[in-house]
Structure 1
Amino acid sequence: MSDYEFDVFISYRREGNPYKWVKHHFFPRLRDYLADHLPQDPRMFIDEGMEVGSVWPERLEEALRHTRILIPVCSPQYFRSRWCLAEWHSMAERERLLGHQGLIYPVLFSDSDNFPSFARERSWRDLKKWNKPDLVFQQTVRWIDFLEEIENVAIELSLLLGKVPPWEPDWPMRRPDPPMPGMTPLPRF
């Protein structure tokens, strides 16, 4: 496979409130609004849709390598995840090599006081006031404000997507440090 396969890669911790928020609110709305602002249907990677039997570390790396923009959903949990950090640092290294900012579009889910310095130095889209993960949030008055904000995110992303440099086959990829342990062979008696 060559060239970009995905416009955006949503990077998030797959547990707790950020996970529910991404699944219930952020991802479906962003997909819908991006479709209104791009010349083709948006191609979005979210690890919910990985095929049965795929080797997930390799699939995540391959998806990120073929993605234009990373959208990390920032929370304290995000920065405690080795895989989330590997995704962030992979894209940050790409930015550094290209001398091109804008390949990481952080959205702030919660906190920020306890983020590592490399994250606090970035500007982000603050979505904290809409970080309600439960479906009942869609029945509140604040839901309309959330939709307007997600449309603004989609507009910004559509502009950034037009500025992404051409794809290169050797984008740097970072694995979590230390690497995930492999299978331990059973002792022979």
Structure 2
Amino acid sequence: MSYRRANAWPRFVSETFLPMFRHWLGAELDASPRIFFDADVIETGDSWPHKLAEGIAGSKLLMCLWSREYFSSEWCLAELGHMLARREAVGNGRGAPPPLVVAAVIHDGDDLPTQLRDIQRYDIQQYANPWLAAGSPTAEELSNRVRVLAAHVANALRQTPEHDAGWSGLATEQFIELHRRRTLQRTVPSLGGDPA
């Protein structure tokens, strides 16, 4: 699950969207889905760039929740870039690439980067509200929309290629390098670096 941890979106994702998505995807697959959700698996003390890399490398597809903030996050773009590179490598120029990226728009779907226009996206922005009241008509309609989205995700999962162990190394290198660059920009003087 790829989303921008900005403003109240984490609340919407963890308390509203993810429980609905997990339920409906499980119904579609007739099995309990394994969803990498950072707040569920990255514990205090973990090297979160490594855990994030493991999560993305072990995922069959990337479920993105696109918002304006999503595209200003280096981490979200790294997750998306990794999966798009994998899609390109797996497709290898033979027809349409496999659907390794499934996107739902939760806010501002008008100004998407042009290179992503080939990805069919699913619009739920009318129902994406971090303060959505449980049991409300809007929450019920969101659940209906997520149910349809889960069917699309289940179909995409049936088309994904088998796992390649090389994906792990690529993801780890990419995420550790991004973390290293970001850390160098904010070096802590007491740890031997110059202040940023």
- Scaled to the shorter chain, the TM-score interval is 0.7 to 0.9
Tell me by how many angstroms 1:75 deviates. 0.6
Q: Answer yes or no: is the 8 Å Cα contact 1:112–1:120 preserved in 2.
A: no
Partner of residue 154, structure 2 = 158
Distance, in Å, in 2 between the alignment partners of 1:143 and 1:135 is: 7
Any unmatched runs of 5+ in structure 2? 92-96
Q: Answer yes or no: is the 8 Å Cα contact 1:18–1:109 preserved in 2.
A: no
Tell me by how many angstroms 1:164 deviates. 1.0
Q: Which runs of 4+ in 1 moved over 3 A?
A: 174-178, 182-185
The answer on 1:181 being equivalent to 2:183 is: yes
Q: TM-score, normalised by structure 2?
A: 0.83
Distance, in Å, in 2 between the alignment partners of 1:94 and 1:11 is: 16
Q: TM-score, normalised by structure 1?
A: 0.86
More divergent stretch after superposition (112-121 vs 139-148): 112-121
Q: Which among 7, 15, 25 is matched to residue 24 of structure 1?
A: 15
Deviations 1:110-139 (A, max 9, x none): 112332222334210111111111142x24
Give 3-state SS (helix, strand or coil) of 1:130's partner.
coil
Percent of matched pairs sharing the same residue: 25
Deviations 1:84-111 (A, max 9, x none): 0000000000000000330000110111
Give 3-state SS (helix, strand or coil) of 2:112's partner.
coil
Letter in 2 for 1:166: E
Deviations 1:127-183 (A, max 9, x none): 1111111142x2421222211111111111112111110100112433349822255
Higher helix share: 2
More divergent stretch after superposition (16-25 vs 76-85): 16-25
Distance, in Å, in 1 between the alignment partners of 2:104 and 2:114 is: 16
